[in-house]
Chain A
């Protein structure tokens, strides 16, 4: 096992995993609080248009997808504020429009597309140093933003009118939140793929919610659970020779199941003692 850690691709994968684990689990708190799991799923699928454009123009699909997803996020925020169309319908429109554009663009390129497969199903072991630098830079920037702004974001999600009365620029911060979720989802796609990336937004916070007694505990435990899921999943996928992204998700799900079972046992024991 130790010889694997000496390999550069493995070192890149672990570093990227740790950054993405912290980033996606922290953002997941706001995604769950705002009940917008469909948003992250929609953005992941819509950014296929960016991936396809990158493949077609021989540009790095990751960079093009980051740009495309930001545009989609701004569009969703704008439509939510300026029209009467329901939020999930707007996301559905962007989701399908992006996917359809991606399929059309990809049909113009002949032959097997390894880049496309890695974005659909994730392959963190294929990460390049240049991509890791972008991931680390952007990821740390977003984490610092969340550290400084998490109180305003939480208040804005809990009640936008109270936030406005407290001089928080709700539409600006909502758009920023959407853009950073979109950017993080695209960064996460390299690890888990379009299909599974939402898992790291939802599973760690859902697990941490089971036993957290405060918002700050929730933030800390979400990050810890996410990092454990990623590192453990990465190691298991190498030992068992299975797809990395899927094993990371299944590891997270297993931790969630064990935590739920542990909590139920604890409650039963507590009732047994007092009853």
Chain B
């Protein structure tokens, strides 16, 4: 069964086409990565899946229209720009989402490694800590699908490593379907079951070792990029 079904999706801002007639499916329980250069339509794809922008074509999430499936989607945005001097604790920010049992809230905070940050102000968190808090807010809905828009942007190497560990844990241990936008091709090559390459058009779609060819990399990023293949097993 598919968690996401996209058929002939086209999105245009004014007359500029950002996504051109793309079709793909995201299997339930998979970790799917979306890659592509800046301006390739990756964030626009997430916005269409969240029903935030008008689009042409068909999107089904768990066989429902996106607007009806929002209860099953957790979302972590690319940017979280706010007045950092505003005193809002992590616990209060998470309470803005929806009421959850305190036992469940404690478990989520432990899973994403923020259980020691409850009384800290969100304006005082590091990039990595804030990103994990944003994952926690997405998990408060107990989602079946997690949409992550370039979640490791602005995080240091240690923070990014912890972040990807959390993502893999949620996917493998809890069966959450994950659609992850990322610029880190070498990282997603290692952790993703499926890779979708976008550059306005759909350039590739499939398991990393088959989808990410030198030709595809050239189409996405130009001739000066290559991938370093690793000898390890993917869940295909």
Q: Which A positions have Cβ atoms within 8 angstroms of B?
A: 32-33, 35, 151-152, 154-155, 158-159, 161-162, 164-167, 209, 212-218
Contacts and interface: CB of A to CB of B under 8 A. Distances in A.
B83 interface: yes
Given A159-B77, A213-B89, 17 more contacts: A33-B82, A35-B83, A151-B95, A158-B82, A158-B93, A159-B80, A159-B82, A161-B52, A162-B77, A162-B134, A164-B50, A164-B52, A166-B70, A167-B71, A213-B121, A215-B86, A218-B87
A161 B83 contact: no
Contacts of B121: 213-214
B214 to A, nearest CB: 36
B87 A214 contact: yes
Interface string B149-172: 000000000000000000000000
A165 B73 contact: yes
Interface string B58-81: 000000000000110111010010
Given A167-B70, A214-B87, A214-B89, A161 B95 contact: no
Contacts of B141: 166
A164 B87 CA distance: 23
B96 A155 contact: yes
Contacts, number: 67
Interface string B101-134: 0000000000000000000010000000000001
A212 B87 CA distance: 6
A197 B85 CA distance: 24
Contacts of B47: 161
Contacts of A155: 96-97
B137 interface: yes
A158 B50 CA distance: 18
A162 B137 contact: yes
Contacts of A213: 87, 89, 121
Interface centre among B80, B82, B86, B137 (most CB of A within 10 A): B86
Interface string B176-203: 0000000000000000000000000000
Contacts of A159: 77, 80, 82
A215 B87 contact: yes
A85 B39 CA distance: 23
Contacts of B88: 154, 158, 214-215
A166 B87 contact: no
B231 interface: no
* Interface size of B as a range: 20 to 34
B98 interface: yes
Contacts of B82: 33, 158-159
B75 A162 contact: yes
27 contacts: A32-B83, A32-B86, A33-B82, A33-B86, A151-B96, A155-B96, A155-B97, A158-B80, A158-B82, A158-B88, A158-B93, A159-B80, A161-B52, A161-B77, A162-B134, A162-B137, A164-B50, A164-B52, A165-B70, A165-B138, A166-B70, A166-B97, A167-B71, A212-B87, A214-B92, A214-B121, A215-B86
Contacts of A166: 70, 97-98, 141
Interface centre among A209, A213, A214, A217 (most CB of B within 10 A): A214
A177 to B, nearest CB: 15
Nearest to B87: A212
Interface centre among A151, A152, A162, A165 (most CB of B within 10 A): A165
B75 A165 contact: yes
A203 to B, nearest CB: 15
Contact of A161 (B50, B85, B93, B96): B50
A156 to B, nearest CB: 9
A167 B85 CA distance: 27
Contacts of B80: 158-159
A106 to B, nearest CB: 38
A2 B114 CA distance: 55
B84 to A, nearest CB: 11
A152 B99 CA distance: 12
A96 to B, nearest CB: 28
Nearest to B95: A151
B52 to A, nearest CB: 6
A151 B51 CA distance: 22
Contacts of B137: 162
Nearest to B83: A33
